[in-house]
């Protein structure tokens, strides 16, 4: 999970973290990674090559939130 305080959005923090996650996944020989992205995070992950597998709703503390199961192939991205 990647969360960045609103004051630090747009500074490249999440991109740096995701770069490290992808690097570690490749070093482990993984072919695919996935995330459960919130509605605001979906465009970021799509720009980074993730695709939506399905959308669903999750209830947290009595509030219903939409999120998206997304994945990214690491094959050919080495």
Q: Report how far residue 69's alpha carbon sits from residue 32's, in angstroms, rounded to the nearest whole number.
A: 13
Q: What's the CATH number of domain 6-73, 3.30.70.20, 3.40.630.30, 1.10.3720.10, 3.90.1200.10?
A: 3.40.630.30
Look at residue 77 in the predicted model and tell me its pLDDT.
58
Structure tokens belonging to residue 16: 């740096």
Give me the tens of pLDDT residue by residue for the chain, a chain 78 residues long: 778 888 888 899 999 999 999 999 999 999 999 999 999 899 999 999 999 999 999 888 899 989 999 999 999 754
Report the largest interatomic distance among the alpha carbons of the chain, rounded to a whole angstrom.
Answer: 42
Give the pTM. 0.84
Look at residue 6 in the predicted model and tell me its pLDDT.
85
Look at residue 10 in the predicted model and tell me its pLDDT.
86
Burial 26-49 (b: 16+ CB within 10 A, else e): eeeeeeebebebeeebbebbeeee
């Amino acid at each position: 999970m990647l969360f960045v305080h609103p004051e630090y959005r747009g500074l490249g923090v999440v991109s740096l973290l995701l770069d490290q996650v992808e690097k570690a996944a490749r070093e482990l020989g993984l072919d695919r990674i996935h995330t459960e992205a919130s509605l605001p995070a979906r465009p970021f992950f799509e720009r980074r090559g993730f695709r939506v597998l399905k959308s669903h709703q999750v209830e947290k503390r009595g509030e219903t939130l939409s999120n998206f199961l997304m994945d990214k192939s690491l094959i050919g991205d080495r």
